[in-house]
Amino acid sequence: MATLFVTAYHAILIRWLSIAAAVFALDRLTKHWAVEAMQPYQPVPVAPFLNLTLVYNPGAAFSLLSDAGGWQRWFFAGFSALVALLLLVWLYRLPRDQVWVPIAFSLILGGALGNLWDRLAIGFVVDFIDVYYGQWHWPAFNVADAAISTGAIMLLWGALRPVPKQ
């Protein structure tokens, strides 16, 4: 009979995957709420700079290629799956003492899986967060997009900050 044991390294890996799972779950819950509670393209004011507006996005970030005819669904789904797989491999290979990079990867992984789910299940991504200033509106986004952006900013910050001298 095979025995299952968790090494200290696997416990750390589980921590990073738990962050990705939490992002995925929060993304799924908020998208489900948005679809059930809101009407498409009808803004719900929340603050002087924030509306909740249900939008269906068949494209990529900022609605890139949203009117491309349908092929983009499978392209972006494949790209998201590839990114998720690469992030899993990188998470597994990262040194145990790193914290910043695995958190960033975990945020990106959870977000990529959240948007991948939408593309595979319904053919488009559900967006609902509408940030604006005056008449200028940032493209609508969701929790997955926010996690991906936060993770990317963390990676950039980690790459650009000075390395402390030993």
Active site residues: 127, 145
- Token pair 């992002």: residue: 23
42: number of Cβ within 10 Å:
10
Q: Are strands 136-137 and 125-133 parallel, antiparallel or unpaired?
A: antiparallel
**Residue 45: how many other CB atoms lie within 10 Å:** 11
**Residue 43 amino acid letter:** P
CA distance 165 to 109: 31
What is the Cα–Cα distance from 103 to 112, expressed in whole angstroms?
Answer: 14
Closest to 130 in 3D by CA, of 60, 61, 21, 47: 47
